[in-house]
Structure 1
Amino acid sequence: MAAVWQQALALDAKFNAYRTPNNPQFRTLYIRRRSQLLRECAKSGKDPSVRKDHLHIRAQLLNSRYGSPAFSDGGSIRSRSISLRSGGRSGLDNFDKLNLSDSKKHRPMKRVFDSIEVVPTDEAEASRAMAGGKTVSENYAFAGMHHIFDQHTAAVTNVKFGHDDKTRLACASLDGTLSICQVIPDPANVICMLRGHAAGVTDFVFSLSNDVILSVSLDATARVWDIAAGKCMRVIEDSMAAELLSCVFHPLNNNMFVIIFKRNSKCFVQVLNISTGKGYKGGSSKVTGKVLALAFDSTGHILWTGDDKGSIHSFTIDVNSGKLIKARRITVCEGLPVTCISARSWISREARDPSLLVNCCVNALCLFKIISEDGALQLKKRFPVKQKRSSIRSTFCPLMSFRQGACVISGSEDMCVYFFDVCKESKPCVNKLLGHSAPVLDVCFNCDESLLASCDEQGMVIIWKREGKQIG
């Protein structure tokens, strides 16, 4: 019964943000009350098989009412048209003196990360049983390489699986191309190469429906690609020929996206409407430093940027008007570039713990706690990785529910892939993969964690398979 109760709570948590999008206080109250009722129901000793049937029917009803959480409000944009075309101090000594203060007194966090996932506590026997009783180390043991791709002639800067997709992988490279790869079933192969950029591709992102890719490049253009056709649909050009450095879709509205461009040594954050090709009024902001990383929270209310001066800026964004408001500036380590930001909301049975994962060129991977509704941060932990010059990226492992512990993974300049359990106080590294012959720049899991992709500065992409996990 406890196991069924946890499944029901996790299901409701997934859909919680869609019930009352303008009333976050009610969403919090709903989940608390739902948890209380499910606990009481579990104690009453009702037939578990009846509860499982009820859970299945409820999932179908929620899907029909709100759509799948992974695709809600995103839709397909294939048919839409657009007309766009270090220095400083370094080392861990500085990092130990992190300055996380700012000029504003932060407010208690009320609405950050209303879309939540479940991470069991040490007493979560039922959840551990659902995960097969395995330890975190056993869950992230790998049997070897599934496939190696070498279609790119320069460093592969990004690798990403599609949303809720375990078969299709995209890669971006400094050779100016993107590739779409099919990794399941065997043999893995390159479906198509996306050619058009005249310089290195710095970032890309899938639309929520996985039918479109948005990419940005040092050639001062962003391109919208039709994945099925393997062709460029639109070109987005900056009128001043500015380098485009990073991009991200709004998590709940793929008609809105954010790009970073560099013009005359200054960087700008710009919110654009992909249907009209125009920027939103009030949707632009100048930032100091060269912005290298972007991340939204799951509600799309907060946007973080990381720059080459060692700072993270937070913005609040109105999803209806696209208006961007600068909120915070947090110094991670002065003068050392922030190269990657990832956001995730976790929840235990006791409390929320929304988190930000940050790579910085200080030989460390940093985990921050988000402590206010405008994106203020508090350092929780740091993990040792080798990073002094390269644009290393990291990510949260996608499966958090019904498992003791929670993992993050990162590339490293020592040519390894590292797995860290954020719940362990000592010896947090639970696995390390060796196989690359150059610094590992990016890592990503497919949706069910059966495969892991990693890429390096020589253009190699390795697909790793997890021990004991069915492939296909």
Structure 2
Amino acid sequence: MMASTTTALQQQVFALDARYNAYRVPLSPNFRTLYIRRRNQLLRDTTRPTDRWKNYLRLRSVLLQQRYGITKSDNASSSSLNSSFKSLTLNDSNVPMQSPLGSVVPTKEAEASRAMVGGTTISENYAFVGVQHIFDQHSEAVTMIKFANNNRSLLCCSSLDKTLSVCDVTSNPPAVLAILKGHTKAVTGFDWSLDNDLIVSSSLDGSVKVWKMNDFSCLRTIHDPNSFQMLCCLFQPSNNNLILTGSTKGDLRIANVSTGRFLKNFCRVGGTILSIASDTNGRVFWTGNDKGEIISVYCELNGCLTKLRKMNLPMSCLVTSLSYRVWISREARNPLLLVNATDNSMYLFSIMDPEGTLRLKRKFQNIHRKYIVRSTFCPIMSFRQGACVVTGSEDGSIYFIDIERVGKKSVLNTLQGHSSAVLGISFNYDESLLATSDLMGLVIIWKKGNAS
């Protein structure tokens, strides 16, 4: 208990420094990054008694306020921070949609499922507080981050600075393996192939590029036929020779890696496509656009696309993130779609049929009005009682949410370490590490409080 309290206090000190770091030498971002890295190293001392950490936190806060003034979140306690992320039941008066469905997680009788993860509580499993490393290789916002499939170490980042980077987060010390250069404008997103030998990236320069991971070279550049900006891309799960792309034109297109060309067939879904998600076998895709619309699309084996269903959110907004999840536990088989939107909300939808029809199950309030903020399901939550999702926020925090709870109790953990909007978020496959990225180009690797 003493160690966990000390670790929590260390994280509060780090969060305090991160908030004020935006005011330090505003014309020297490299120094700010170096400073926060050094602060993280100094805060790893676990021998100091808890009462001394409390006194240190109090004095540190006073000194920073005297030096830089009071920030918006200086007086916010952990409880007030949690209250900025609220869970609403579906029969709430301001959510004019369907009533809640049944539980989305394995039942209390799922003894075998709990045993697979050691029988620990959901709060214990998501006690991320420690900072393992801070990356600063990008000079502008890191738009997306993602660990390689079934891999603990490899992490890719895309940025508005026109580049991608591939990192090894578990080497000693963690290292940037390569910077992928070739796009002439901002990189908006990317995806790993199933066996992690390729990465596909999309860019505002109107192209997608396919990168080889064995030597970090560009295998193929495929240009949009009409030179529209490319905002998202995704490998076809059942055929990694095909890539789905979304553009400012509102067209969902498929590119062939082997030929380096787009197929003639495409699907007009309308608006500006900002996000794409796929079911497990790549037969049904969902797209989110800038009109608050989520459209399901059927993909045939030959690449022919057919529009199926459309869900309209309560107001016109940007649908910035889509994540698909299906439980593999025998106690719960209900597939879900997790959605972030710029109406200050994160939505959880149940997928009702093979055509991708959505039914709202939960709605959570988040500070999200402007940027492409993403969220994710926790990778191995299928085996636990309870279910957790994690999202970034424009208030600079990372929220761990138990989707079975309502109100303030739904927030299991809040991480504070970014001094700007948190855009990207990704777990490695065994949930030992969490990576987050922000608007200033910083990437933080978090570890569990009891991790070595």
In the TM superposition, what whole-angstrom CA distance separates every residue of 1:173-210 from its partner, at most 9, and x where no partner exists? 00000001111122001111001111100111111111
Separation of aligned partners in 2, 1:369 and 1:350: 16
Runs of 4+ in 1 over 3 A off after TM superposition: 92-100, 278-281, 347-351
Q: Which residue pairs with 2:405 in the alignment?
A: 424
Are 1:369 and 2:350 counterparts? yes
Q: Secondary structure at the match of 1:138?
A: helix
Label 1:421 to 1:140 Cα distance change in 2 as closer, same or farther (>3 A): same
Aligned positions of 1:166-315 closer than 5 A: 166-262=152-248, 266-281=249-264, 283-315=265-297
Offset at 1:302?
0.5
Aligned positions of 1:72-221 closer than 5 A: 96-98=94-96, 120-221=106-207
Separation of aligned partners in 1, 2:111 and 2:225: 59
Offset at 1:326?
0.5
* Contact residue 278 and residue 285 of structure 2 kept, 8 A: yes
* Contact residue 95 and residue 333 of structure 1 kept, 8 A: no
Offset at 1:348?
5.1
Offset at 1:97?
4.7
In the TM superposition, what whole-angstrom CA distance separates every residue of 1:429-455 from its partner, at most 9, and x where no partner exists? 111100000000011000111110000
Aligned positions of 1:59-74 closer than 5 A: none
Report the aligned-residue RMSD: 2.1
Are 1:322 and 2:308 counterparts? no
* Contact residue 129 and residue 415 of structure 2 kept, 8 A: no
In the TM superposition, what whole-angstrom CA distance separates every residue of 1:77-113 from its partner, at most 9, and x where no partner exists? xxxxxxxxxxxxxxx999935568xxxxxxxxxxxxx
Separation of aligned partners in 2, 1:221 and 1:130: 43
Unmatched segments (≥5 aa) in structure 1 = 1-91, 101-117
Q: Secondary structure at the match of 1:365?
A: strand
Label 1:156 to 1:95 Cα distance change in 2 as closer, same or farther (>3 A): farther
Q: Secondary structure at the match of 1:197?
A: coil
Unmatched segments (≥5 aa) in structure 2 = 1-87, 99-103
Separation of aligned partners in 2, 1:285 and 1:362: 26
Q: Which residue pairs with 1:357 in the alignment?
A: 338
Separation of aligned partners in 1, 2:375 and 2:234: 16
In the TM superposition, what whole-angstrom CA distance separates every residue of 1:349-398 from its partner, at most 9, and x where no partner exists? 44421000000111121100001111110000012221011110001110
Offset at 1:346?
1.6
Are 1:398 and 2:379 counterparts? yes
* Contact residue 292 and residue 315 of structure 2 kept, 8 A: yes
In the TM superposition, what whole-angstrom CA distance separates every residue of 1:321-368 from its partner, at most 9, and x where no partner exists? 111001111101331110000001125544421000000111121100
In the TM superposition, what whole-angstrom CA distance separates every residue of 1:199-238 from its partner, at most 9, and x where no partner exists? 1001111111111110010011111111221221211112
Label 1:261 to 1:130 Cα distance change in 2 as closer, same or farther (>3 A): closer
Offset at 1:130?
3.8
Q: Which residue pairs with 2:367 in the alignment?
A: 386
Q: Secondary structure at the match of 2:294?
A: strand
Q: Which residue pairs with 1:42 in the alignment?
A: none
The percentage of aligned residue pairs carrying the same residue is: 47
In the TM superposition, what whole-angstrom CA distance separates every residue of 1:232-273 from its partner, at most 9, and x where no partner exists? 1211112432111110011121011111123xxx32111222
Separation of aligned partners in 1, 2:173 and 2:332: 45
Label 1:337 to 1:95 Cα distance change in 2 as closer, same or farther (>3 A): farther
Separation of aligned partners in 1, 2:224 and 2:164: 21
Task: Please give the TM-score of this superposition, normalised by the length of structure 1.
Answer: 0.72
Task: Please give the TM-score of this superposition, normalised by the length of structure 2.
Answer: 0.75
Q: Which residue pairs with 2:57 in the alignment?
A: none
Q: Secondary structure at the match of 2:149?
A: coil
Label 1:138 to 1:278 Cα distance change in 2 as closer, same or farther (>3 A): same
Separation of aligned partners in 2, 1:298 and 1:255: 16
Q: Secondary structure at the match of 1:462?
A: strand
Q: Which residue pairs with 2:437 in the alignment?
A: 455
Are 1:445 and 2:427 counterparts? yes
| Range that drifts further, 250-259 or 448-457 | 250-259
Separation of aligned partners in 2, 1:333 and 1:431: 28
Offset at 1:119?
5.2
Offset at 1:133?
2.8
Label 1:402 to 1:329 Cα distance change in 2 as closer, same or farther (>3 A): closer
Separation of aligned partners in 1, 2:161 and 2:289: 24
Question: In the alignment, residue 190 of structure 2 is paired with which amino acid?
Answer: F
Label 1:199 to 1:409 Cα distance change in 2 as closer, same or farther (>3 A): same
Separation of aligned partners in 2, 1:95 and 1:445: 35
Q: Secondary structure at the match of 1:328?
A: strand
Separation of aligned partners in 2, 1:349 and 1:181: 36
Label 1:367 to 1:467 Cα distance change in 2 as closer, same or farther (>3 A): same
Q: Secondary structure at the match of 1:352?
A: coil
Q: Secondary structure at the match of 1:353?
A: coil
Q: Secondary structure at the match of 2:394?
A: coil
Q: Which residue pairs with 2:17 in the alignment?
A: none
